């Protein structure tokens, strides 16, 4: 009888842990995107590149490792976020910044694609199965320098153009 209770307890703990892990990535949001970076953040190499910010909306740490970022909905697994990097664990209500510089050899947070200010850019985050879309945003062509598209409040549904003299809402 005692062994049966221990077995049930272990099964429940495993099920809860798997459930938490499965729900974790779904709490990630593409939070802000800067297509033309002239004077904003710079990477570890001193370069101003386009960037994509991911926000963890949950109150638990979430590992983005194993998920996918893409600029092509027909290729959802374009950039596999490497597993095993301790920095891919995004703490509760915190952000991770990915450089859209087309130079993945520079590290985990450097995407294998670039954003083009003269074209509409779609950024999408897919779950580790490469099929389930977690979040996406479409940014129209004609972006100006150092003006990003961001959620009004971290993780919210409304977007705003930020930077320069323009902080206008967008749909």
Give mean pLDDT in consecutive 10-residue pieces for the chain, a chain of 171 residues: 66 50 80 97 96 97 97 98 95 97 97 97 97 97 95 93 65 48
What is the structure's pLDDT at 142?
93
In the structure encoding, which two tokens stand for residue 59, read together?
């109150």
- The pLDDT, as a whole number, for residue 119 is 96
| Eight-state DSSP code of residue 26 | G
Q: Which of 139, 170, 142, 141 has its CA nearest to residue 157?
A: 170
**Confidence at residue 115, expressed as pLDDT on a 0 to 100 scale:** 98
72 Cβ contact list (under 8 Å, min separation 6): 78, 113, 122
**pLDDT score recorded for residue 24:** 84
Q: Are 97 and 41 in contact (CB under 8 A)?
A: yes
- CA-CA distance, 19 to 7, in Å (whole number)? 18
* Cα separation, 50 vs 57, whole angstroms: 23
Note the pLDDT of residue 67. 98
The pLDDT value recorded for residue 165 is 55
* CA pair distance 59, 27, nearest whole angstrom: 9
């Amino acid at each position: 009888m005692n062994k049966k209770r221990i077995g049930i307890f272990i099964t429940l703990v495993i099920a809860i842990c798997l459930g938490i892990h499965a729900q974790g990535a779904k709490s990630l949001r593409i939070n802000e995107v800067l297509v033309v970076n002239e004077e904003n953040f710079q990477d570890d190499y001193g370069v101003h590149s386009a960037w994509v910010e991911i926000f963890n909306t949950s109150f638990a740490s979430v590992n983005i490792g194993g998920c996918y970022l893409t600029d092509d909905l027909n290729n959802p697994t374009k950039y596999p976020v490497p597993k095993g990097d301790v920095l891919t664990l995004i703490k509760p209500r915190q952000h991770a910044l990915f450089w859209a510089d087309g130079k993945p050899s520079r590290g985990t947070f450097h995407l294998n694609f670039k954003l083009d200010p003269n074209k509409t850019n779609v950024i999408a985050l897919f779950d580790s199965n490469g099929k389930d879309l977690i979040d996406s945003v479409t940014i129209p062509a004609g972006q100006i320098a150092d003006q990003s598209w961001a959620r009004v409040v971290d993780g919210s549904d409304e977007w705003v153009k930020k930077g320069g003299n323009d902080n206008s809402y967008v749909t």
